[in-house]
Structure 1
């Protein structure tokens, strides 16, 4: 075999003319003596690890035609001396760490046809003098920080076939001169802040166009009908913009089109035939991806969807307003590996034909109105990785045939009407590693011991079911668990000691010792060394007990059994005697406390224990001593205020019978006299260690003790709190035996427990109406509230209704996102928090959000080694949250969003964030198991300026295959 030589010499002389050291694993700096090779015509050092500055001596190589330094670690500026290399035709310094401006001197190179400066840290705008490079055919400048606008002079590059300007913080509009570049076959301006609309004749301007990337900008208007003239186009990306209107383009003429992305816009007219254009895709042989999620499409999916290309592998319609049934013809698309129809209004059943898609990897029908059983045919999808069916009305049992999906990483069936046992077969699918979510169903029986097979599972949620029996000790084998939710079931017995084997992770927040506190958790083990926790000991074998230990345990068991038998006998006897007794304002089973006990619990109502106060009274932290010590919150009523008496009665009446995980739990009350003989009334609540939402939102305004930085909420925490509060309102308005209206919803009345779960408190103004069956009926009973949060109709004398709580909730949500109180000085006259947020939608939302959210995001981005375009998801979620807040706080009560729709939309927002987070976490695990990133995972551009768009839907489907496809072809 002939050995490859990195050097080539001339035929007439022994002088080096070509040096090709591509991908040789070279390190260190590039010697300036390379400038002495004056006969050099080609120098390629790409794909190495050179560092330091590019030697200015390269300017001495006046015969040089090709210079390729891409994919190294070169620093400093691009040397202006390269302008002396007057024969240069190919210059590639992309994928380095170069800074500064592009040298004006290089725009005088007369023969330059290929210029690539992408993926550096260049600034100072795209030089308008590049328009002087009239021989240029390919210009790749993506992935820098140029800023400014696209120079009009680029329209002078009449020979240009490839123009890549993505990811440069560019603003303004596309200059009209660009539309004169008729030879373009690649045009990419993605990931900028460009705006404006496309001209009607857009489709006639680039007859050779194959790749068009407009995604992730702020373009508006409709898609021109002339786009149907792009007869050679293969890739059309318009997602993450503000395009709107009905799509009437005849895509049938674009037979070469493989990938079309229209998601995250405002497409749709509200007419029932919004999706008719899908029929124009019929019988294509090339179409591979069709992305249409997060728009305003209405209507039904036509049966002709089954006639789409058999090569289609990616099809998403999620987060629209599509209704009707899912066509059974969807089963004809046999090469689909991702199908997304979540967040719509689909009814009917899941078609059994879904089992005809053998290559399916990700399937989501969540957050619809689907009913019936989960078809057994889903078990045919042996390659399935993620399955989302939550938030529907599915019934029947969890199919045991799901166990055939041996590659399943994520299964979400939450919030349905599923019943029966958890199939043991399902828990033998050891691949389950991201999440198993069966919450909010009607599942019964015990948690099978087979749960221990899921050793790599990160999240398990079986909460709000009817599960019973003991928690299996095998749960301790799930050593990768980070999130475990089992609340609101009927489990009994003790927590297994085997759960001691669950360790403190080394990743996530636990990688930074200064960001967490584990005070008081002496029995934790593992974690990073800075936490100074003992090592976790893994038990590799079972040790035999001594006979003396066995005898001691046996004797103890007999004694405990006898004691329990005696206890239950006495308990049943007492229960029969008291079954018919009447109940005062609070049930007799509630703890009884005296004034003396409360005085002692609060150290004489010491100011050191004061945690809040208002017009109706003061709240103290106290330690009650009963059978044991426990911390409580004690609200002492100010009886000089007459309304306080009514408040006391209202809270007792409201909290007497209602129970919900998002309502503050009342422990007891005290109605007595103090030591001076004056009346004394107090309410004793469950203590909320994390205080009020008010404190977390506005900590910097209220504290100066150096703890402000810790008392901040990230976006996911705020979404969780918003969901918690909405769940509590839904319970009060729709699920209680009597309708309850809170009347005073505001951040200071939202309390957070140790796990940051939100609870609504202070029912002093609450009204409840046993005679009302319709939650939208109203009552003329007077209402009070807090300025800024009170619905405007109450100020006009309108009657109380659930709409008032929804208004308060909307203002609360906007305060959580903007960080601004509705009573701030900036809000005067007609300028209020609602209008402040409404006028920012959608383009200026990032200007009004709480700066803390932006700081958190930037910090997370700096700490992330794999760029997955999280910022786009953050912006999208923030816009959705502001939309919800605005829709809840409209002036017209009937125009406000319903609580059920609020919960639906919030779950969509949360799921979007969580999916990206969990997918990314798993992707990182895959990378950890397979070596380094190899420099492949990036939101930047490849050699010809293509953005490697690795959003959530791509990361798990083919983290390596997708990249090979892009890099290999381009």
Structure 2
């Protein structure tokens, strides 16, 4: 009866495992059931990995002879029944990889014979029940990847039979209890990813039985004792990475004769790394990634010679360090069992040794982002197991070796940002396992070999941009049906865009810009139903923009600087002016007003029918008045401001103005305006006014605020009065949307709710487009110098416009930001590049000094501010949050979670949105 009740709670049984649970068969013969030999009592319930969906019946508590419950890898949900506490004979309870929720039942402690509890369910919450302290027979306590809080309870130290303690991926917080040092039988200690802080208690280093020691992804600090290799003689695997340990790496670890895996990525270890020769003979995995390590020797990389005797070595990861020097020839004598070799993001230089070809078992070779020079040795193409070759971002020259064509299993080849020349070898067409090929930013020439386009396995990306390729795009390209991204931009490709591109039905990203393509956009591209990003800019394309583009799933479309003509489409993506660009097409007309195109003329045909004429006369956009202008032609087109006091400012535009700090808003004949009145009591405000006038007078771009007019006058008391008039952005600033107060959120009239992920990405693209225009596409570059959410304004359609150019500067080769510190509000700290923040902090106390003090303005400053803004949008945290102190900033906060724990820092509103989307999709699929 209990088993039938169990079955009734299972809502989906795709494998039909429970079909045998019926009266025609004795229950001891039902699948997943084991009975005792003498009395036909159910002793084991094992339905692991059966894809079952449902809840767990409380009648399971009636199976009083159960010794084992194994339900791992299913989709059971709801609470864990407290009735399990009746099973006093239960020894094993394994509920891993399900969807149970709620708290762990305290009366599990009644299962006095329980020796193994295994639960990893992301929806379990709360503290570990104190009642578990009585479980003296516990040998395996594995409660991973849940949301348990309240610290790791010290009572675990009383469970003296424990051999395995695994709590990874929870929210415990707090310190590692010193009481864990009482677990003398412990051989597995896994405390990774628990938000633990403080130091490791010395008692832990006395647990001589420990062979697996994982405490990575926490905030633990302090030095590691030099003798830990002696006190922990049975160590086989140790991972201390992604903490903040400092000091020296314990050299005595090399005496751990049983050590198989050693991982210590931590940014604060000292700079020297030495590995004594002849030790670590059982080592299979060595990782010191993401440190600031150097060996300290003259021939710095010669320490690799000491690893030659590690005959079982399979993974060698020394990426993201400060190693310098040449790779020694002895690297050719490393273990032939070596599978992965990671030296990326160091300062290695010189030639790449041909001896790497001797590592016949190699699957991944990652040497990118170094300073390697010379030619790529053809011997690298010898290891037949190679899956990934990453040599990008170096200074390699010469031709791409033909020998790469011998690598039948090669999936990823990255050679970008080098100085490679010659043609692309047609032999690469033999690499039929290719998923991604990146040859961008080299000096490659000749035609694109058609053999590349016969590789049906291509699914990620084919990137050939920024080279000197000529000729046409081969018609064979249509064979790449699974390709996600194609980038051949910045070459010299010509002729027409091939119709066969329609065969690339999986394309999401297509970049053909900055070539010499001609003719019209093929009608066949209408079959690219999944296309998201399409860039055809800077070519010689002609004809009308196809109407079918309105129906595509495009999120970004760039058709600028071609010879398109006729009326712009108005549906689909063409409704979003921030997502399209059509600049430099003189004969386009119509479309959204934000695009600034002239209206299409209507002409009469011979039959008396009116038709639209796409041609138009050249016209110059009206510019706003100069900063000193006090008179305008018409109130319909611009506002005239001649106030003698702040009160008359409102009268001048006949609106009901509401003073809000130094800003006013109002409406004139349905034209909504925003006024910024400068407080001239602050030193340097006049220069800020002039800078903003100069910048905005010369800027016309869809993602930059539009100035209607400016006013410079004298009030009734003889004081200077300066104001700027903008178009009002009805949805306010990005800062308001990200950080609305509780009062704003609860206000029924407030639109400030929550930005969806798609909206945030769209805003990020808008801001990036504005910066790209300022830096590269407006005559002489303009640097904003003060990018932050409060300076990003949102219009009715949630399109972002960058504003507040008080710090903007037109840049020449020797220009520096010279705006007064008064403009550097508190929010600027955290957005400025690290080198500038110290200057800004100094200026806060020395307001008579000017910003910069010799610090040259560069694109990097704006770009740094931009990425901080993006992180703020995705995490919901300001860079000035109280959390960020003592050198710990928003950038570090995000980076420390990559790649496995990024969800932990994402704005909770986005997580809720994602979970709701998943639920709705699952519900829709179920209904279907």
Q: Distance in 2 between matches of 1:211 and 1:826?
A: 38
RMSD of Structure 2 on Structure 1 (CA): 5.9
Q: Distance in 2 between matches of 1:60 and 1:783?
A: 74
Is the CA contact 1:195–1:219 (under 8 Å) kept in the aligned structure 2? yes
Q: Quote the residue 2:39 is aligned against.
A: 14
Is the CA contact 2:389–2:414 (under 8 Å) kept in the aligned structure 1? yes
2:414 to 355, 377, 388: 388
Q: Distance in 2 between matches of 1:48 and 1:814?
A: 40
Once the two structures are superposed, what CA deviation does each residue of 1:655-678 show, in whole Å capped at 9, x if it has no partner? 99xxxx9999x9xxxxxxxxxxxx
The reply on whether 1:257 has 2:283 as its aligned counterpart is yes
Deviates more, 1:21-30 or 1:144-153: 21-30
Once the two structures are superposed, what CA deviation does each residue of 1:594-646 show, in whole Å capped at 9, x if it has no partner? 8999x9999523699xxxxxxxxxxxxxxxxxxxxxxxxxxxxxxxx999999
Q: Distance in 2 between matches of 1:727 and 1:357?
A: 43
Q: Quote the residue 1:604 is aligned against.
A: 637
CA shift in 2, pair 1:863/1:388, >3 Å: farther
CA shift in 2, pair 1:694/1:436, >3 Å: farther
Q: Distance in 2 between matches of 1:276 and 1:212?
A: 25
Q: Distance in 2 between matches of 1:701 and 1:43?
A: 47
Is the CA contact 2:120–2:143 (under 8 Å) kept in the aligned structure 1? yes
SS at match of 1:476: helix
Q: Quote the residue 1:803 is aligned against.
A: 856
Q: Quote the residue 2:178 is aligned against.
A: 152
SS at match of 1:384: coil
Is the CA contact 1:712–1:852 (under 8 Å) kept in the aligned structure 2? no
1:337 to 350, 363, 367: 363
- Greater fraction of residues in strand: 2
The reply on whether 1:196 has 2:249 as its aligned counterpart is no
Q: Distance in 2 between matches of 1:726 and 1:484?
A: 22
* Cα shift at 1:846: 7.9
Q: Quote the residue 1:471 is aligned against.
A: 497
Is the CA contact 1:170–1:193 (under 8 Å) kept in the aligned structure 2? yes
Pick 1 or 2: higher relative contact order, CA cutoff 8 A, min separation 6.
1
1:233 to 247, 252, 259: 259
Q: Distance in 1 between matches of 2:57 and 2:818?
A: 85
SS at match of 1:474: helix
* Cα shift at 1:332: 1.2
CA shift in 2, pair 1:330/1:94, >3 Å: same
Is the CA contact 2:75–2:99 (under 8 Å) kept in the aligned structure 1? yes
SS at match of 2:450: coil
* Cα shift at 1:181: 0.7
CA shift in 2, pair 1:300/1:855, >3 Å: farther
Q: Distance in 1 between matches of 2:80 and 2:866?
A: 52
Q: Quote the residue 2:354 is aligned against.
A: 328
Q: Distance in 2 between matches of 1:209 and 1:605?
A: 77
* Cα shift at 1:442: 1.7
5 Å-filtered alignment, 1:903-942, equals none
Is the CA contact 1:650–1:764 (under 8 Å) kept in the aligned structure 2? no
* Cα shift at 1:217: 2.7
1:416 to 438, 442, 448: 442
Q: Quote the residue 2:200 is aligned against.
A: 174
Q: Distance in 2 between matches of 1:64 and 1:645?
A: 77
CA shift in 2, pair 1:800/1:429, >3 Å: farther
* Cα shift at 1:20: 3.9
Q: Quote the residue 1:367 is aligned against.
A: 393
Once the two structures are superposed, what CA deviation does each residue of 1:167-208 show, in whole Å capped at 9, x if it has no partner? 322222221111111001111222333222311112112111
Is the CA contact 1:114–1:137 (under 8 Å) kept in the aligned structure 2? yes
Is the CA contact 1:662–1:760 (under 8 Å) kept in the aligned structure 2? no
Aligned residues: 739
Q: Quote the residue 1:294 is aligned against.
A: 320
Q: Quote the residue 2:751 is aligned against.
A: 706
The reply on whether 1:284 has 2:310 as its aligned counterpart is yes
* Cα shift at 1:84: 3.4
Is the CA contact 2:345–2:369 (under 8 Å) kept in the aligned structure 1? yes
Q: Quote the residue 1:217 is aligned against.
A: 243
CA shift in 2, pair 1:440/1:710, >3 Å: farther
Once the two structures are superposed, what CA deviation does each residue of 1:338-389 show, in whole Å capped at 9, x if it has no partner? 1111111222221211111211111111112222222222212221111111
Q: Distance in 2 between matches of 1:690 and 1:315?
A: 56
Is the CA contact 2:624–2:697 (under 8 Å) kept in the aligned structure 1? no
SS at match of 1:187: strand
Is the CA contact 1:724–1:758 (under 8 Å) kept in the aligned structure 2? no
Once the two structures are superposed, what CA deviation does each residue of 1:935-968 show, in whole Å capped at 9, x if it has no partner? xxxxxxxxxxxxxxxxxxxxxxxxxxxxxxxxxx
* Cα shift at 1:709: 4.6
Q: Distance in 1 between matches of 2:850 and 2:158?
A: 71
Is the CA contact 1:746–1:808 (under 8 Å) kept in the aligned structure 2? no
- Unpaired runs of 5+ residues, structure 2, are 1-27, 534-546, 556-570, 573-616, 626-631, 640-652, 655-684, 707-725
* Cα shift at 1:502: 1.6
CA shift in 2, pair 1:853/1:34, >3 Å: closer
Q: Quote the residue 1:878 is aligned against.
A: none
Q: Quote the residue 1:266 is aligned against.
A: 292
Q: Distance in 1 between matches of 2:879 and 2:496?
A: 57
Q: Distance in 2 between matches of 1:845 and 1:742?
A: 26
5 Å-filtered alignment, 1:570-719, equals 591=619, 603-605=636-638, 706=751, 709-710=754-755
Once the two structures are superposed, what CA deviation does each residue of 1:680-720 show, in whole Å capped at 9, x if it has no partner? xxxxxxx9x99999965676699997377559999988997
Q: Quote the residue 1:538 is aligned against.
A: none
Is the CA contact 2:381–2:404 (under 8 Å) kept in the aligned structure 1? yes
CA shift in 2, pair 1:121/1:647, >3 Å: closer
* Cα shift at 1:114: 2.5
* Cα shift at 1:496: 0.9
Is the CA contact 1:458–1:481 (under 8 Å) kept in the aligned structure 2? yes
Q: Quote the residue 1:524 is aligned against.
A: 551
The reply on whether 1:502 has 2:528 as its aligned counterpart is yes
The reply on whether 1:356 has 2:382 as its aligned counterpart is yes
Q: Quote the residue 2:716 is aligned against.
A: none
Is the CA contact 2:756–2:913 (under 8 Å) kept in the aligned structure 1? no
Q: Distance in 2 between matches of 1:343 and 1:359?
A: 23
Q: Distance in 2 between matches of 1:270 and 1:231?
A: 25
Q: Distance in 1 between matches of 2:173 and 2:89?
A: 34
SS at match of 1:155: helix
SS at match of 1:348: strand
Is the CA contact 2:692–2:804 (under 8 Å) kept in the aligned structure 1? no
Is the CA contact 1:169–1:193 (under 8 Å) kept in the aligned structure 2? yes
Once the two structures are superposed, what CA deviation does each residue of 1:542-587 show, in whole Å capped at 9, x if it has no partner? xxxxxxxxxxxxxxxxxxxxxxxxxxxxxxxxxxxxxxxxxxxxxx
Is the CA contact 2:374–2:398 (under 8 Å) kept in the aligned structure 1? yes
Q: Distance in 2 between matches of 1:186 and 1:397?
A: 51
CA shift in 2, pair 1:326/1:39, >3 Å: same
Structure 2 length normalisation: TM-score?
0.65
Q: Distance in 2 between matches of 1:764 and 1:77?
A: 54
CA shift in 2, pair 1:367/1:600, >3 Å: farther
The reply on whether 1:816 has 2:849 as its aligned counterpart is no
Q: Quote the residue 1:23 is aligned against.
A: 48
* Cα shift at 1:129: 1.0
Q: Distance in 2 between matches of 1:708 and 1:28?
A: 35
Is the CA contact 2:441–2:466 (under 8 Å) kept in the aligned structure 1? yes
Is the CA contact 1:663–1:728 (under 8 Å) kept in the aligned structure 2? no
Q: Distance in 2 between matches of 1:700 and 1:158?
A: 50
Q: Distance in 1 between matches of 2:358 and 2:493?
A: 39
2:459 to 408, 430, 433: 433
* Cα shift at 1:247: 0.9
Is the CA contact 1:53–1:75 (under 8 Å) kept in the aligned structure 2? yes
5 Å-filtered alignment, 1:72-221, equals 72-95=98-121, 98-221=124-247
Deviates more, 1:58-67 or 1:311-320: 58-67
